[in-house]
Amino acid sequence: MQAFEYANPSTLQEALSLLGNRWGEVDVLAGGTDLLPLMKDEIHTPRRVVNIKNVKELGGIQSTKAGLRIGAAVTLEELLQSALVRKTYPALADAARGIASPQIRNMGTVGGDLCQRPRCWYFRNGFGLLARDAGGQALVPGGENQYHAILGNSGPAYFVSASLLGPALIAYNATVKLASASGSRDVPVEKFFVTPQNDSSREIALLPNEIVTGIVIPSAVTRSATYEVRQRQALDWPLAAASVVLRMKGATVAGARVVLGHVAPTPWVSEEAAQALAGKAINEETATEAGKAALAGATPLSQNAYKVQLARVAVKRALLQAARGRA
């Protein structure tokens, strides 16, 4: 790991004054579960690291008029321990429960989940976010792409968004709160994830002089669930995931949000699945149809066609789980 200057601010204002104006200068340290490996591999080589774990304003889970506010530095374990989260936002709890391991959940944070870098092995091995060779040729389409995108993959990005909480937060229409030294802004989580157009940009709408301060999830009576298809039950990212939020009118769907994870460079909102469910009861047949609709436009790469069926199944099982509800 290259040497850097360490800053340990105790207020948000102080933390914001320590950020840089260009990506690469300064990194924000919360759980460290992604940043430290990136720095050890010298994919990130910041000259300064700002630890935000001691910034009080970034902690805590509170019910507010606008909905549930979750501080960016809340750990994934704290999120899971919240009875309010488990009871009211099961799709979020399902997603948090699936993350890695007890050790990682004790360290990793909500803000960090949204800001973690892609797991694309070309990126992690120094080929850049868009994974190109020295001549500018994209390496993924003809390369080892079994874990890459099957939607939104016409280029230039082929990686999948690594965020586990993102799909659930988007399904709940949550907002992410960002702050810089000159002010703060709210961005719908759906708009927070972006497909980068060049190697020097990022896969999130955060600016280099901003940090994520928290999330607000509007309160609404819904049924929701997240289902992840995994190779292993722990210590891995899903191969495909789906978060669904259903607004029911009696036994039928008045409105649905279906958001897929790990299939595209951003969490993938499926209007097609939502339309397929409108006015229907949720059962094996309608849930299967919604899964088919969500993946109808899939364009798998040479080695990842298997992910299409996994994603269909994720949508189906998330819908059935949401409809069943839980004690």
Residue 1 or residue 278: which is nearer to another protein going by CB? 1
Q: Taking CA 306 as the corner, what is the angle to CA 304 and CA 308, rounded to the nearest 5 degrees? A: 95
Q: Which residue, 18 or 315, is less far from another protein as judged by CB? A: 18
Helix (H, G, I), strand (E, B) or coil at 46: coil
How many positions of this chain bind another protein (CB under 8 A)?
A: 29
Site for another protein contains 29 (CB under 8 A): yes
Which residue, 20 or 141, is less far from another protein as judged by CB? 20
- Of 81 and 252, the one with the shorter C-beta distance to another protein is 81
Regarding 5 and contact with another protein (CB under 8 A), the answer is: yes
Q: Is 144 an interacting residue with respect to another protein (CB under 8 A)?
A: no
Cβ-proximal residues to 87 (8 Å cutoff; 6+ apart), any chain: none
Is the CB of 46 or the CB of 291 nearer to another protein?
46
Of these, 43, 80, 104, 139, which contacts another protein (CB under 8 A)? 104
Under the binding rule (CB under 8 A), the answer on residue 36 touching another protein is yes
Site membership for another protein, residue 43 (CB under 8 A): no
Q: How far apart, in Å, do the first and last CA atoms of the chain sit? A: 47
For the bound state, the minimum distance from the C-beta of residue 84 to another protein, rounded and expressed in Å, comes to: 21
* Min separation Cβ 229 and another protein, Å: 18
Determine, following the binding rule CB under 8 A, whether residue 37 of this chain makes contact with another protein: yes
Separation CA 88–CA 61 (nearest Å):
13
| 8 A C-beta contact, residue 118 and residue 201 | no
125 CB-near residues (< 8 Å, 6+ apart): none
Which of 29, 75, 71, 70 is CA-nearest to residue 52? 29
The CA-based angle 143-259-218, given to 5 degrees, is: 140
Among 9-17, 26-34, 170-178, 241-249, which window interacts with another protein (CB under 8 A)?
26-34
Q: How far is it, in rounded angstroms, from Cα 63 to Cα 188?
A: 19
d(CA 164, CA 114): 8
Q: Which residue from 19, 28, 33, 224 is in contact with another protein, where contact means CB under 8 A?
A: 33
In the region spanning residues 66 to 95, those forming contacts with another protein, defined by CB under 8 A, are 77
CA 99 to centroid of chain Cα atoms: 11
Which residues, other chains included, contact 315 with Cβ-Cβ below 8 Å and sequence gap of 6+?
227, 242, 244, 258, 260, 270, 273, 287, 290, 291, 294, 295
CB under 8 A: which stretch of 33-41, 200-208, 248-256, 291-299 binds another protein?
A: 33-41
Residue range at the interface with another protein (CB under 8 A); choices 2-10, 252-260, 271-279, 310-318: 2-10
Closest distance between another protein and the C-beta of residue 116, in Å? 12
> For another protein, what does the binding mask look like between residues 212 and 241, x meaning CB under 8 A?
---------------------xxx------
Candidate residues 9, 20, 32, 255; the one interacting with another protein per rule CB under 8 A: 32
Stretch of 57-65, 98-106, 135-143, 262-270 lying at the interface with another protein (CB under 8 A): 98-106
Q: How many helices (H) and strands (E) does the chain have?
A: 13, 12
Q: Are 106 and 79 in contact (CB under 8 A)?
A: no
Beta strands in the chain (DSSP E): 5-7, 26-29, 48-51, 61-64, 67-71, 175-180, 183-188, 210-217, 223-229, 240-249, 252-261, 268-269
The contact set with another protein (CB under 8 A) reads 1-6, 8, 29, 31-33, 36-37, 39-40, 49, 51, 53, 77, 100-104, 106-107, 233-235
